[in-house]
Amino acid sequence: MLVKVLYFGRLKEVSGAPEESVELCDGARIEDLFTQCALSRPELRKFRSSLVAARNREFAAWDTPLDPGDEIGFLPPVSGG
C-alpha cells in the first residue's frame, strides 16, 4: 500500500524533502513506516524519541496500523505562539 509522509520543522531539513510517498506491506504500522523512511536517511533515527506522529491530521500512537492513502506527519516538538 502507498501512504503519504509529511516532514516538518527541523525534520524537513533532515529528510531533504517536505513530503514523499512510501510503499509499505499490508499490516504495517506507523513505527514500521518511520523505520523504512530512516533506512535511506539514518540521521532521522536520532529524532525518533522526540517526535510525535499524526495520522490523517490526528495525533496517533506509533503502533497504529496504516491504511492505503493515509497521510502521516512526523512532527517535532511544536513551537507556535
Partner 1 sequence: MANTHANDRIELTREVIPKAALARDIRGNEDGAVATFDGCVRNHSHGRATLHLEYEAYESMALSKMREIAHELHSHYAINRVAIVHRLGRLEIGETSVFIAVSSAHRAAAFDACRHAIDTLKKTVPIWKKEYFADGAVWADGELPPAPGQTRGTKPASN
| Under rule CB under 8 A, residue 77 binds partner 1 | yes
| Under rule CB under 8 A, residue 54 binds partner 1 | yes
3-35 in b/e form (b: 16+ CB < 10 A) is bebbbbeebeeebeeeeeebebeeebbbebbbe
| Under rule CB under 8 A, residue 49 binds partner 1 | yes
Report the residue from 16, 17, 48, 67 that binds partner 1 according to the rule CB under 8 A.
48
Report the residue from 26, 39, 63, 68 that binds partner 1 according to the rule CB under 8 A.
63
